[in-house]
Chain A
Amino acid sequence: MPRILPQVLRNLLRKPATVKYPQVRVEPPKGYRGRPVVDPERCISCWLCIRTCPARAITISKETKKPSIWLGRCIFCGECAEVCPARAITMTKEFEFTTLR
Chain B
Amino acid sequence: MTFIVPIGPQHPALKEPAFFRFEVKGEEIADVDIRFGYVHRGIEEALQRRDYKHDVYLIERICGICNVVHTTTYCQAIEQLAGVEPPERAKYIRVIILELERIHSHLLWLGIAAHQIGFNTLFMLAWRDRERVMDLREIISGNRVTSATNTIGGVRRDVKPEHVPTILRGLDELEHSTKYYIDLFNSDRTILARCTNVGILTKDDARKFCAVGPLARASGVDTDIRRDHPYAIYDKLSFNVITEREGDVWAKSMVRLREILEAIHIVRQAVKEMPIGPIRIKVNLEIPRNEAIERTEAPRGELFYYALSNGTDSPERVHVRTPTCANFASIKRMFLGGTVAEIPIVIWSIDPCFACNDRVALVDSHTGKTFNLSLKELRKWRH
Cβ-based interface call for A39 (8 A): no
In the bound complex, residues from chain B placing their C-beta under 8 Å from that of A76 are 143, 146, 148
Indicate if the CB atoms of A3 and B142 lie closer than 8 Å: no
Cβ-based interface call for A31 (8 A): yes
Of residues 278 through 331 on chain B, the ones whose CB sits less than 8 Å from some CB of chain A are none
Write the residues of chain B forming the contact surface with A, with a CB cutoff of 8 angstroms: 50, 53-54, 56-58, 61, 121-122, 125, 128, 131, 135, 138-139, 142-143, 146, 148, 156-157, 180, 183-184, 187-190
Closest approach, in angstroms, between the C-beta of A85 and any C-beta of chain B?
A: 16
30 A-B residue contacts at CB 8 Å?
A: A2-B188, A3-B187, A3-B188, A4-B121, A4-B122, A4-B184, A4-B188, A7-B180, A8-B121, A17-B128, A17-B131, A29-B138, A29-B139, A31-B139, A32-B138, A32-B142, A33-B148, A52-B53, A54-B53, A54-B54, A54-B56, A54-B58, A75-B57, A75-B146, A77-B57, A77-B146, A77-B148, A78-B142, A78-B148, A82-B156
Indicate if the CB atoms of A2 and B190 lie closer than 8 Å: yes
- Contact residue among A17, A32, A82 (Cβ-Cβ distance under 8 Å from B143): A32
In the bound complex, residues from chain A placing their C-beta under 8 Å from that of B125 are 7
With contacts A54-B54, A54-B56, A77-B57 known, is A2 near B138, CB below 8 A?
A: no
Indicate if the CB atoms of B121 and A33 lie closer than 8 Å: no
Closest approach, in angstroms, between the C-beta of A50 and any C-beta of chain B?
A: 12
In the bound complex, residues from chain A placing their C-beta under 8 Å from that of B135 are 29
In the bound complex, residues from chain A placing their C-beta under 8 Å from that of B50 are 54
In the bound complex, residues from chain B placing their C-beta under 8 Å from that of A40 are none
Q: Shortest 10 CB-CB distances between A and B: which pairs?
A: A54-B54, A54-B57, A33-B142, A77-B148, A17-B128, A3-B187, A3-B188, A29-B139, A31-B142, A33-B143
Of residues 1 through 58 on chain A, the ones whose CB sits less than 8 Å from some CB of chain B are 2-4, 7-8, 17, 28-29, 31-33, 52, 54-55
A8 to B184, CA, bound (A): 13
A4 to B177, CA, bound (A): 12
Indicate if the CB atoms of A3 and B148 lie closer than 8 Å: no
Closest approach, in angstroms, between the C-beta of A78 and any C-beta of chain B?
A: 6
Instruction: Give 17 new A-B contacts, CB below 8 A, not counting A3-B183, A54-B58, A78-B148.
Output: A3-B187, A3-B188, A4-B122, A17-B131, A28-B138, A29-B139, A31-B139, A31-B142, A31-B157, A33-B142, A52-B53, A55-B57, A77-B146, A77-B148, A78-B142, A78-B156, A82-B156
Closest approach, in angstroms, between the C-beta of A95 and any C-beta of chain B?
A: 9
Q: B50 — nearest CB in chain A belongs to which residue?
A: A54
Q: How many residues of A contact B (CB 8 A)?
A: 20
Closest approach, in angstroms, between the C-beta of A87 and any C-beta of chain B?
A: 16
Closest approach, in angstroms, between the C-beta of B383 and any C-beta of chain A?
A: 27
A52 to B151, CA, bound (A): 13
In the bound complex, residues from chain B placing their C-beta under 8 Å from that of A4 are 121-122, 184, 188
A54 to B56, CA, bound (A): 9
A73 to B183, CA, bound (A): 46
In the bound complex, residues from chain B placing their C-beta under 8 Å from that of A54 are 50, 53-54, 56-58
In the bound complex, residues from chain B placing their C-beta under 8 Å from that of A75 are 57, 61, 146
Q: A75 — nearest CB in chain B belongs to which residue?
A: B57
A54 to B146, CA, bound (A): 14
Closest approach, in angstroms, between the C-beta of B221 and any C-beta of chain A?
A: 30
Q: B58 — nearest CB in chain A belongs to which residue?
A: A54
Produce 1/0 per residue, A54-72, CB < 8 A to B.
1100000000000000000
In the bound complex, residues from chain A placing their C-beta under 8 Å from that of B139 are 29, 31
Best-surrounded residue of B58, B142, B146, B190 (most CB of chain A within 10 A): B142
Closest approach, in angstroms, between the C-beta of B309 and any C-beta of chain A?
A: 19
Closest approach, in angstroms, between the C-beta of B210 and any C-beta of chain A?
A: 34
Q: B138 — nearest CB in chain A belongs to which residue?
A: A29
A78 to B53, CA, bound (A): 13
Q: B166 — nearest CB in chain A belongs to which residue?
A: A29
In the bound complex, residues from chain A placing their C-beta under 8 Å from that of B184 are 3-4
A28 to B139, CA, bound (A): 9
In the bound complex, residues from chain B placing their C-beta under 8 Å from that of A8 are 121
A3 to B148, CA, bound (A): 40
Closest approach, in angstroms, between the C-beta of B264 and any C-beta of chain A?
A: 20
In the bound complex, residues from chain B placing their C-beta under 8 Å from that of A2 are 188-190
In the bound complex, residues from chain B placing their C-beta under 8 Å from that of A3 are 183-184, 187-188
